[in-house]
A = this chain, B = another copy of it.
Amino acid sequence: MSTAPEPDLSTWPTGRLLAVAARLVEQRWVAVLAGLDLTHAGLIALHTLRGGPLPQRTLAQRCQVTDQTMSRTLGRLTKAGFVTRTPDPADGRRHVTRMTASGRAVLDRAVRAEREDPGLLGGLGDDDAFRARLLSLIDGLSAGG
């Protein structure tokens, strides 16, 4: 009796299942990331900066979050010493965000952790059909939708 937590999850609309699954997967990361002084949002930002510095707005767009959310995330990453934000000499409105050496180091460690710990994925390792479904979903919703 005490162990009947979700008797009807299968009746839920797909969108809600998606939200629950995302939350559970993300939670799997928390312990690892906390050990690296990093959050999930910060990891995504660092990942997106791996190819070189970007202005904040571009970074936000690539991470699929608003400018405001990215601003706050970068605030924390800056305080942690993982990125620097310097005014763009070519355009005073922009701040160029750049990964620091310690930022790159922590990103590498996180990526390695993700590859090495299959438990982090909850078994969704390399299901290409699933990935393709998610990608087309994102594409459809983020574009014209």
Contact = CB atoms under 8 A, between A and B. Distances in A.
Interface in A121-135: 121-125, 127, 129-131, 133-135
Contact of A122 (B12, B16, B137): B137
B130 A133 contact: yes
Given A14-B127, A62-B5, A122 B140 contact: yes
A121 B15 contact: yes
Question: Which interface residue of A6, A47, A123 has the most chain B CB atoms within 10 A?
Answer: A6
Interface residues of A, number: 54
A34 B3 CA distance: 35
Interface in A14-33: 14-29
A57 to B, nearest CB: 10
Interface of A: 5-10, 12-29, 40, 44, 47-48, 51, 61-62, 64, 114, 119-125, 127, 129-131, 133-138, 140-142, 145
